[in-house]
Amino acid sequence: MKIFKEEGMKNSRNKTFQFWRQDNQPMELYSPAFVFQKMNYIHNNPVEAGLVERPEHYLYSSAKDYFFTKKCGLLDLMFL
């Protein structure tokens, strides 16, 4: 709690605590192409961080479900 309070005091838009970053830029997912672009970006984060060589190799990613098009990951996906 001390860290959240200290971070909250640094930001003039807060009165007490800050937990979430306030510089994110949410965007409407307006087309299938845009959705897939964002999914690819998210799936490639572990690769960019140097944790794995390929997105589908990361244990906690749904990339393997999209790569193999069958249930491989930790969650069930429903393809629309």
pLDDT tens-digit readout, 22-46: 666 777 888 989 988 998 999 999 9
Torsional sign, CA 56, 58, 59, 62: negative
Cα–Cα nearest to 38, from 70, 57, 72, 63: 63
The structure's pTM equals 0.57
Indicate left, alpha or beta for 52 from its phi (over 0: left) and psi (-120 to 50: alpha). beta
Q: Distance (Å, rounded) from C-alpha 70 to C-alpha 73? A: 9
Cα–Cα nearest to 79, from 63, 68, 67, 66: 66
Bigger pLDDT: 53 or 13? 53
